[in-house]
Amino acid sequence: MQIRSRISYEAGLKIGDYSVTFPEAYQFLGSIGKDQVEGFWMGTAQNAHLYYMDAYFAYIKFYPHELEFAQKLNMRIYDGTEDRAKYLFREPLKELARKHDLINSRIVTFQGGEKIFDKMFTRRGTPTAFFDDLLQLIRDIYNQKPW
């Protein structure tokens, strides 16, 4: 099973652009892309699937000044992995955004309705601590096996 990130040239350029436009996202994506966060990895073409160990958790789309985290995967995930995104989306992500007081400021927004949403957008101004807590949230959800 794949346990190292595979970053396409195109995705690497987009991630690199964040060093200027969204430094916190650059740090978050770069550390995973360089396999510096134990257990986390990404597979990319133009955008990225985010995995922890043998589980898929989010599809990340790269926009110039924001990241979109989507529950729905793009096409397919790596063989030997399981789709566990539904355990991350909805309340866990909302609680995380509330913890960092990012909803009222619209630094973090959600799409798909108040109670049932499948996309989260993070913009410049999202603190590094939010991304760190996101990784910990994914670890916690993963460790609650069996799902």
Please tell me the predicted confidence (pLDDT) of residue 72. Answer: 81
Q: Which CATH number does 9-142 carry?
A: 3.90.1150
Coil, helix or strand at residue 90: coil
From residue 2, alpha-carbon distances to 53, 73, 77, 81, 130 in Å are 9, 17, 11, 9, 26
Show the low-confidence residues of the chain (pLDDT under 70): 1-2, 113-116, 145-147
Tell me: the pLDDT tens digits for 73-102?
777 787 788 889 889 987 899 999 999 999
- pLDDT for 42: 92
What pLDDT shows up at residue 120?
Answer: 93
pLDDT at 1: 55
Q: How much is the pLDDT for 111?
A: 84
